[in-house]
Chains A and B, each alone.
Chain A
Amino acid sequence: MEIFLRNFLISISVGTLGRLYLLRVDYRQYPSYPRGIIMHLTFGVIAAALGAVAIPALLAQDYAAVTFLALAAEQFRNVRTMERENLANIEGLEMVRRGASYIEEIAKIFEARNYIVVLASLIASASLYLIPKWYLAVLTGFLTLVLLKYIMQSQKISDIANVKIADIRFENTLLYVGNINIMNVGLEASRERILQTGIGVVLEPRDENASITLSNIGQRQAIVHDVVSQLGIKKDLDEPDFTPLARRDVNTGNVAIVFYPSIQDREALVKAVGYAPVLESTRRKPSESGAVNKNDQEGMK
């Protein structure tokens, strides 16, 4: 019993500390400190406990206990639902929307992190029963965490596209970023303000996979939301003229976006765009399909 308790405590600590390590409050301000943290940490402890009891239960030939892992999966799917509902509820009140794709992505990551915790504490507990050295268990547990976190890491926009500042100009009432038409702006006062506060960015996809990924509307919305959450926006509710818009050049696959950031820093803007995540659900790899001839890829952009 004593061995079980010791092993259980070590494994559960590995899992819980792991969840803490995965819980960073970053610029996205999500989850918001401190209520969100308490919520997710509690789920993390439960996940770690489930991982920690699986091996002892198996050794005690209590196979019913192992089925609890299935129950855990169900529980963590609820985490995803909770996150999705939470973000969807506040979506209508965001100045710039996240978009359904981004919400789904965030919710999925929260679910996945719980599975990482289960696996880390499971592996820590397994290693304790194989070699009863606590430091080895802690080490293998954390190695699992780091490895899974690395695998789960998503690409950034700067990995798939070149981000460049582009001029913004008007041809009569049509706003252009580079040579990509964005929209028609009716009021002269708005046009003047756009020329003063607007900064244009062009994303040049590196290959045809990136081009198709960037064409996704959810992906474009995620970039816009991410940048606005970092650099702010000079716009109020009744000023749709200053909504950042992303439009695509169908010939080159380039995507042009015009921003009206509160912090008028071009370098920071380019960095922020580059740092936006490539959403898992929008990633496409037509080059792997065989339908696309590898030699044609250059021209297909």
Chain B
Amino acid sequence: MGVEISNIIVAVVTTEKEKVQSGFAPVFYSENKAESEKIALILAKITMGMVHNLENGVYVIVKH
């Protein structure tokens, strides 16, 4: 039986360095919106998480 942690931010993708402080989730910086979306999608596929958009240039990948 596996143990899973859910409803937790597993990664952050952003173009805005000043808006994200480092935490336990890794932060990935990108050049523009298109790259953010791409990185977020790839990370979501890898972690089986879902991409959420905080509408301020910050994307978070959350495992539900």
Q: Do A and B come from one complex?
A: yes
Q: Which residues from chain A sit less than 8 Å from chain B, CB to CB?
A: 172-173, 184-190, 237-238, 240-241, 243
Selected contact of B52 from candidates A184, A188, A189, A243, CB within 8 Å? A184
Selected contact of A187 from candidates B41, B60, B64, CB within 8 Å? B41
Bound state CA distance, A240 and B45, in angstroms? Answer: 10
Q: Which of B37, B45, B50, B52 has its CB near the most chain A CB atoms (within 10 A)?
A: B50
B37 and A241 within 8 A (CB):
no
Bound state CA distance, A243 and B44, in angstroms? Answer: 14
Selected contact of B41 from candidates A185, A189, A237, CB within 8 Å? A189
The answer to whether A186 and B48 touch (CB under 8 A), given A172-B55, A173-B55, is no
Bits for B25-59, please: 1 = Cβ < 8 Å to A, else 0: 00000000000010011001100111111010001
Which A residues are CB-close (under 8 A) to B49? 240
B40 and A187 within 8 A (CB):
yes
Bound state CA distance, A71 and B18, in angstroms? Answer: 71
The answer to whether A187 and B37 touch (CB under 8 A), given A238-B45, A240-B48, A240-B50, is yes
The answer to whether A186 and B64 touch (CB under 8 A), given A240-B49, A241-B50, A241-B51, is no
CB<8 Å pairs between A and B, sample of 19 = A173-B52, A173-B53, A173-B55, A184-B53, A185-B51, A186-B50, A186-B60, A187-B37, A187-B40, A187-B41, A187-B44, A187-B53, A188-B37, A237-B48, A238-B48, A240-B44, A240-B48, A240-B64, A241-B51
B45 and A186 within 8 A (CB):
no
Beyond the given A172-B55, A243-B64, please list 18 additional residue pairs across the A-B interface where CB-CB is below 8 A: A173-B52, A173-B55, A184-B52, A184-B53, A185-B53, A186-B52, A186-B60, A187-B37, A187-B41, A187-B44, A187-B53, A189-B37, A189-B41, A237-B48, A238-B48, A240-B44, A241-B50, A241-B51
Give chain A's interface secondary structure class: loop
Closest to A237 in B: B48
Bound state CA distance, A189 and B45, in angstroms? Answer: 14
Bound state CA distance, A243 and B50, in angstroms? Answer: 10
Which A residues are CB-close (under 8 A) to B41? 187, 189
* Least Cβ–Cβ distance between B43 and chain A, in angstroms: 11
B51 and A187 within 8 A (CB):
yes
Bound state CA distance, A80 and B41, in angstroms? Answer: 43
Closest to B1 in A: A92
Bound state CA distance, A186 and B37, in angstroms? Answer: 8
Which A residues are CB-close (under 8 A) to B60? 186
Closest to B46 in A: A238
Bound state CA distance, A248 and B45, in angstroms? Answer: 29
Bound state CA distance, A173 and B41, in angstroms? Answer: 15
Bound state CA distance, A190 and B55, in angstroms? Answer: 15
* Least Cβ–Cβ distance between A295 and chain B, in angstroms: 41
Q: Which of A185, A189, A238 has its CB near the most chain B CB atoms (within 10 A)?
A: A238
Which B residues are CB-close (under 8 A) to A238? 44-45, 48
